[in-house]
A = this chain, B = another copy of it.
Amino acid sequence: MRLTVHDIARVANVSQATVSKVLNNYSGVKESTRKKVTDAIEELKFTPDSVARSMVTNKTNTLGLIVGDISNPFFAESAKIIIGKAQEKGYDVIISNTDHDDENLENAIQTLISKRVDGIIISSISRSSMRIKKLHENGFPIVLYNSRVEGDSSNSVVLDNYRGAVLAVDHLVGLGHQNIAFIAGPTKYLTTYERYLGYREALEKHGLVLNTDHVYDGEYDYRKVYDFSYNLLSSPDRPTSFFATSDQMALAVMDAAASRKISIPQELSVVGFDNMSISANAYIGLTTVSQQKENMAELALKKLISLIEKTESDALSIQLSLKPELIVRKTTSAPNKK
């Protein structure tokens, strides 16, 4: 025999609506009432079956979160913040990992939709993707986190990436660096591309020439970034500083420098982008551009839930751009005088 919400309501002596609220973890239920319901569930050995429930309510109270690489602390820390905030609002989160692969992203969206998530937050997507455009136009609740698609009106929350890169270059030039290598990563991502534009135009502003041999625009691969940095640090025209568009890649540069016995910051300055937790560790002390993960997560989630719950009078889409901040720590200093 299958137990129903009706059975629980009867045993708990509350309304079916109250049982639903407790099952869906809504706020605004008195603790004593919640206890009546949970006791009834315990008594009846009832497993709330969200699959069956979703057939009726058409809502699963589950969000999808698509990340580019869960092993990169920027994504893992973002995921933790998003999960925490979603839980407070009564939503579970399913995480999918794409390894920055377009086909995996396509599959992840398909899988999440087929599992009937109420909406999706995407934190890694090519700037030319047509897929999001279609979903957005079809009215499927979707918000891009630290991502944006070119010429698209999908909802997105990003940092002002161009400005963030300018801050990083200004800092290095201000210290006296003229030979600044750049670890960009793939410029098919709009956030990365904007950081690349910021790097290029900041150099120009300071009258410095961009050396394409000193720019890495390959994939996000720790080993490849390490090798590129190691080789560049072994070349005659060795840069005095590196700016990387992620802390994870900045750590790969520092790994290569340490392997070459090059001391930071005495012989090499390094600036990252993200401000992951470990960058603040005093042993590491990475100078970086802060991403405001907390703010981005809060805003992205708020928008997504308002789309799902249709609480907004107007379905205007948003493209938010937050102000970046440079955090100076111990990986940057004036270059070595020779």
Give A contacts to B, CB under 8 Å.
47-51, 54-55, 60, 62, 69-71, 73, 75-77, 79-80, 83-84, 92, 94-97, 99, 110-111, 113-116, 222, 251-252, 254-259, 264, 277-278, 281-285
A69 and B80 in contact, given A49-B114, A283-B264 (Cβ under 8 angstroms): yes
Among B92, B95, B116, B255, the residue within 8 A (CB) of A281 is B255
Q: Note all chain B residues with C-beta closer than 8 A to A252.
A: 281
Residues of B within 8 A of A69 (CB): 80
A50 and B115 in contact, given A70-B76, A70-B79 (Cβ under 8 angstroms): yes
Q: A282-B258, A283-B258 are in contact. Are A115 and B115 (CB under 8 A)?
A: yes
A70 touches B83 (CB 8 A): yes
Q: Are B95 and A94 in contact (CB under 8 A)?
A: yes
A48 neighbours in B (Cβ, 8 Å): 110, 114
Of all chain B residues, which has the CB nearest A286? Answer: B283
**A114 close to B47 (CB less than 8 A):** yes
State the CA gap A252–B284 with chains docked (Å). Answer: 11
Which residues on the B side are within 8 Å of A62 (C-beta)?
A: 115
Most buried by B among A54, A55, A258: A258
Residues of B within 8 A of A115 (CB): 50-51, 60, 62, 92, 115
- How far, in Å, is A183 (CB) from chain B's closest CB? 15
Check A251 against B70 for contact (C-beta < 8 Å). no
The interface centre, meaning the residue of A54, A84, A255, A283 with most chain B CB atoms within 10 A of its CB, is: A283
A66 to chain B, nearest CB (A): 12
In the bound complex, do residue A47 and residue B284 qualify as a contact, i.e. CB atoms below 8 Å apart? no
Chain B nearest CB, measured from A96 CB (Å) = 7
Whole-angstrom distance between the Cβ of A285 and the nearest chain B Cβ: 7
Residues from chain B with a CB closer than 8 A to the CB of A75 are 76
Query: CA of A97 to CA of B69 in the docked complex: distance in angstroms?
Result: 17
Residues of B near A113 (CB, < 8 A) are 47
A158, chain B: closest CB distance, angstroms: 21
